[in-house]
Homo-oligomer: A and B are copies of this chain.
Amino acid sequence: MKRYSFILILAGLLVLTARKIFAGDPSGIHTYSDSIQGLKFSVNFAWTLLSAFLVFNMQAGFTFLGAGFVQKRNTLNYLSMSFISFCVGAIIFWIFGFALMFGGSKLAPGLSSGSQFIGYSGFLLLGESYDVSTSVLWMFQIMFAATACAIVTGAVAERFKFHAYVIYSVFLCGVLYPVFGHWMWGKGWLEMLPFGVGARDFAGSGVVHGMGGLIAFIAAWMLGPRFGKYNPDGSSNVIHGHNMAYIVIGTLTLIFGWFGFNAGSTLAVTELRVSIIAVNTFLSAAAGAITLLYFSYAKTKKSDIIMTCNGALAGCVAITASGAYVPHWAAVVIGIVASLITRSSLYFIESKLKIDDPVGAISVHGANGLWGLLSVGIFSDGTYGGVKGLIVGSCSQLLSQFIACVTLIAWCFATGFILFYLMKRFFGLRVPVNIERSGIDVYEHGTSCYPGI
């Protein structure tokens, strides 16, 4: 009863404050008109929103993928983390993450205040930022924040405390992601670098996937491997997932969403380049998949479909930064290289660094996030956005991209370490070892994933 009263009082207060509506153009009446300019808004709103919806559906992809990779007894725990991350992300990004990221970018009304290092306008989408143009930007961007957040889930699966995960989500979507995002996309200092046209990360190889993958690295390292992953002599065991069909379906669902992720990142279909971007995404994914299929086959004489899926995702990650700037043949090359990087990285992380990453998030998203950033400086052919890479004889862009890579690594490692260190110190990161052995689902969530069976 007390809780309801609290809600009622809160509502009452909001009533009082809200009676005077101070806003940008929340109805869209001033933004739209029956004219060329008005229709441009409409068609670009449609494009951006529908793309955002597709990116949202990547959450279903991550959920399928990760659920397939984990053991049966921890599946519900994975699903829970996957589901809550975007819920927490949405609320935090609305309260302040978006303001930190896009304040000062002037990309939409109400985003005028901010420096090259941090934004500080657009909080709660109130005031001037209660505007149709600002909301469309928010809708697209929250999906990206949620994606970055979801990437880490797989790397910490089967041993992370659920409530630690919720806290991690708050900080990732509220601070870590928006601040770096501001530097790259919110008129921040990386975007303004004096080499080439400044650092460019078209749809977020670095901002989204690199960040997710590198934070996953720190998280998986500080969390330690799953019980039974490594033997006393340092050799590793394969811990099988429980449903390969989910992995394949998840990969397909992710690619489906990725078309929105990449082609939608123009935020405008009046940029007809979108078609080149979509084709590049598909070619890079296909090239990565085929490469790892036959590369694995050459080693093991088995057609490893999980590795094939990893190759496809690696191609998608890498082309995310450069898809808008490179010609089609380069997309194929980028995808091939990405898949080889992924395989090497998987081996290196598991066998050399002895970090346990159940789904391969570090290798697929982290390593290729960096490769994607660099690929902009290599393969951009100058036909879009003025971005020129090595293949058209320009070296300076690559310097910007390299600085972005170094900055990303430094930022993720530093902030990720602090975040997980503090959480570890104050309430611990891992479930008790006996729970880990018997399964997290019943302990944390009160039921198994397949209770009737």
Contact = CB atoms under 8 A, between A and B. Distances in A.
Interface in A125-178: 125-126, 130, 132-133, 135-136, 138-139, 142, 162-163
B53 A273 contact: no
A293 B84 contact: yes
A391 interface: yes
Interface in A27-53: 27-28, 31-32, 34-43, 45-47, 49-50, 52-53
A287 interface: yes
Interface string A74-95: 0110011011101111110010
Contacts of A279: 125, 135, 138-139
B87 A333 contact: no
A308 B80 contact: yes
A340 B256 CA distance: 34
- Give the size category of A's interface with B: 35 or more
B72 A19 contact: no
Contacts of A303: 80, 162-163, 444-446
B384 A83 contact: no
Contact of A7 (B251, B306, B333, B448): B333
Interface of A: 3-4, 7, 10-11, 14-15, 18-19, 21, 23, 26-28, 31-32, 34-43, 45-47, 49-50, 52-54, 56-57, 59-60, 63-64, 67, 71-72, 75-76, 79-80, 82-84, 86-91, 94, 124-126, 130, 132-133, 135-136, 138-139, 142, 162-163, 240-246, 248-249, 251-253, 255-256, 259-260, 263, 269-276, 278-279, 282-283, 285-287, 289-290, 293, 295, 300, 302-306, 308-309, 312, 327-330, 332-333, 336-337, 340, 378, 381-384, 390-393, 444-453
- Top 9 nearest A-B pairs (CB, nearest first) are A28-B272, A302-B446, A242-B452, A136-B275, A90-B286, A240-B451, A135-B275, A87-B286, A132-B272
